[in-house]
């Protein structure tokens, strides 16, 4: 295994269909060794970014590197990346065993023992056609194929969006157990922050092609605070505080701020911010100030 420090690196990356940009001027670095959550509203460009990173699409502008190599630059690169596409597709007419045979033929580093063990643990019948499996079972089959490939990086595009709560949990249990065991990097996208709250230790918030927020989850949560206190002007806040959102009533002001140091002003009640509130604040922030929001509005 090569010693890489970056899972995905995009520079000025863009993809245009006719007149419409699905992803525009995207620059971001996702470090290796993390479970990185890629979060953003529908239409933010998550799937386009992932399709470019897996080599399913070619960029219109810019570059993207995955584990230091160009996507789909050859069989060697393809073998290093496991990919589970949106809604975890499988071949409805093929049996579970057929899927494993297909995986063994198509992947040089295929781990047949691991695939068989996982199918047994899941309690799937190898003779069962994939079309007859439940949504949760299909998702687990798709995940098994990606894991048995023994990838260095596993990319999952909204893998649990269409699953019921129990199947979601089971999918994430298997994914986290395998992450601990096989020690690969993971990039997982979702439009639901809550899905990723416990599984990710790195977060990228993508809004209208732009990275609004990126960093280690603990750092992001520790550097954002909710301040509540008697009404005051935004201008009266110290310059060390970056205001993300604010709201005021007749007597009270509430600010969500980013601050590198502790906030010691006794005039404020300082509370921690949940991940969901944090992401929503940046969504609001982007729609209030960013010129990129036109990209979102241009969508049908």
Measured from the CB atom, the residue of 25 and 216 that comes closer to other proteins is 216
Contact 199, 172 (CB under 8 A): yes
Kindly provide the residue ranges of all beta strands, DSSP E only, lying in 40-145, ordered along the sequence: 61-66, 81-84
Other CB atoms within a 10 A radius of the CB of residue 176 amount to 14
Query: How crowded is the C-beta side of 107, counted as CA atoms within 13 Å?
Result: 24
Measured from the CB atom, the residue of 53 and 175 that comes closer to other proteins is 175
How far does CA 103 lie from the centroid of its chain?
Answer: 25
Measured from the CB atom, the residue of 16 and 169 that comes closer to other proteins is 169
Three-state DSSP at 180 gives: helix
Query: Do β-strands 242-248 and 252-258 pair in parallel, antiparallel, or remain unpaired?
Result: antiparallel
- φ, ψ of residue 216 to 5 degrees: the values are -70, 135
The tokens describing 126, both together, are 């190898």
Contact 36, 200 (CB under 8 A): yes
Smallest distance, other proteins to C-beta of residue 176, A? 4
Measured from the CB atom, the residue of 23 and 178 that comes closer to other proteins is 178
Residues near other proteins (CB under 8 A) are 34-35, 169, 172-177, 179-181, 198-201, 221, 272, 274
Smallest distance, other proteins to C-beta of residue 181, A? 5
Smallest distance, other proteins to C-beta of residue 163, A? 13
Smallest distance, other proteins to C-beta of residue 108, A? 26
Smallest distance, other proteins to C-beta of residue 89, A? 23
Smallest distance, other proteins to C-beta of residue 5, A? 16
Smallest distance, other proteins to C-beta of residue 92, A? 28
Look at the block and give the residue holding tokens 């940046």.
Answer: 282
Query: Do β-strands 224-230 and 252-258 pair in parallel, antiparallel, or remain unpaired?
Result: antiparallel
Measured from the CB atom, the residue of 29 and 274 that comes closer to other proteins is 274
Measured from the CB atom, the residue of 34 and 224 that comes closer to other proteins is 34
Measured from the CB atom, the residue of 96 and 174 that comes closer to other proteins is 174
Three-state DSSP at 279 gives: helix
Smallest distance, other proteins to C-beta of residue 210, A? 26
How far does CA 281 lie from the centroid of its chain?
Answer: 18
Contact 38, 189 (CB under 8 A): yes
Q: How far apart are CA 189 and CA 205, in angstroms?
A: 10
Measured from the CB atom, the residue of 219 and 240 that comes closer to other proteins is 219
């Amino acid at each position: 295994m090569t010693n890489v420090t970056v899972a995905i690196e995009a520079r000025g990356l863009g993809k245009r269909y006719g007149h419409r940009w699905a992803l525009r001027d995207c620059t971001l670095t996702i470090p290796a060794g993390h479970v990185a959550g890629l979060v953003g509203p529908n239409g933010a460009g998550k799937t386009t970014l992932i399709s470019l990173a897996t080599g399913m699409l070619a960029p219109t502008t810019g570059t993207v590197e995955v584990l230091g190599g160009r996507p789909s630059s050859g069989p060697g690169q393809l073998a290093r990346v496991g990919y589970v596409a949106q809604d975890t597709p499988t071949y409805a007419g093929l049996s579970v065993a057929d899927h494993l045979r297909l995986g063994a033929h198509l992947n040089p580093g295929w781990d047949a023992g691991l695939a068989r063990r996982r199918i047994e643990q899941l309690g799937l019948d190898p003779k069962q056609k994939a079309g007859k499996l439940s949504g949760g079972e299909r998702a687990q089959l798709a995940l098994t194929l990606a894991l048995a490939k023994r990838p260095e990086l596993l990319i999952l595009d909204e893998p649990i969006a269409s699953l019921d709560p129990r199947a979601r949990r089971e999918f994430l249990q298997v994914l986290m157990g395998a992450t601990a065991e096989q020690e690969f990097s993971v990039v997982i996208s979702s439009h639901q922050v809550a899905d990723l709250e416990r599984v990710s230790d790195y977060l990228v918030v993508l809004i209208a092609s732009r990275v609004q927020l990126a960093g280690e989850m603990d750092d992001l949560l520790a550097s954002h605070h909710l301040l509540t206190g008697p009404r005051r002007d935004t201008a009266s806040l110290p310059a060390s505080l970056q205001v993300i959102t604010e709201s005021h009533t007749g007597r009270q002001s509430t600010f969500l701020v980013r601050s590198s140091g502790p906030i010691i002003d006794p005039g404020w009640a300082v509370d921690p911010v949940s991940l969901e509130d944090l992401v929503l604040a940046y969504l609001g922030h982007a729609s209030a100030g960013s010129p990129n929001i036109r990209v979102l509005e241009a969508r049908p």
